């Protein structure tokens, strides 16, 4: 099977003992004990996501990270 290539944007953060990696182009995330492991696991998860789908990657432009306080009951 021919390998396909595409560029993806991602974000990584620490949550407890693990690093969480989330793809910004498609709703896929993974985790690992290190940043590198989380990114490697994310790459595998994205590959599985596109395994039986056309490779159509939405572009992410100018992502930003922020915080906001929400009130809830």
Angle at 9 between CA 35 and CA 34, to 5 degrees: 5
pLDDT value at residue 1: 61
pLDDT value at residue 3: 74
Q: pLDDT confidence of 57, banded at 50, 70, 90?
A: confident
Indicate the domain borders of the chain: 10-49
Each residue of 21-34: pLDDT tens digit? 999 999 999 999 99
Does the pLDDT of residue 60 top 80, yes or no? yes
pLDDT value at residue 34: 98
In whole numbers, what is the pLDDT of the chain averaged over residues?
91
């Amino acid at each position: 099977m021919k390998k396909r290539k595409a560029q993806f944007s991602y974000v990584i953060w620490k949550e407890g003992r693990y690093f969480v990696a989330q793809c910004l182009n498609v709703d896929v995330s993974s985790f690992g004990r290190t940043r590198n492991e989380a990114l490697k696991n994310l790459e595998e998860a994205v590959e599985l996501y596109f395994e039986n789908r056309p490779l159509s990657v939405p572009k992410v432009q100018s992502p930003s990270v922020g915080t906001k306080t929400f009130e809830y009951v």
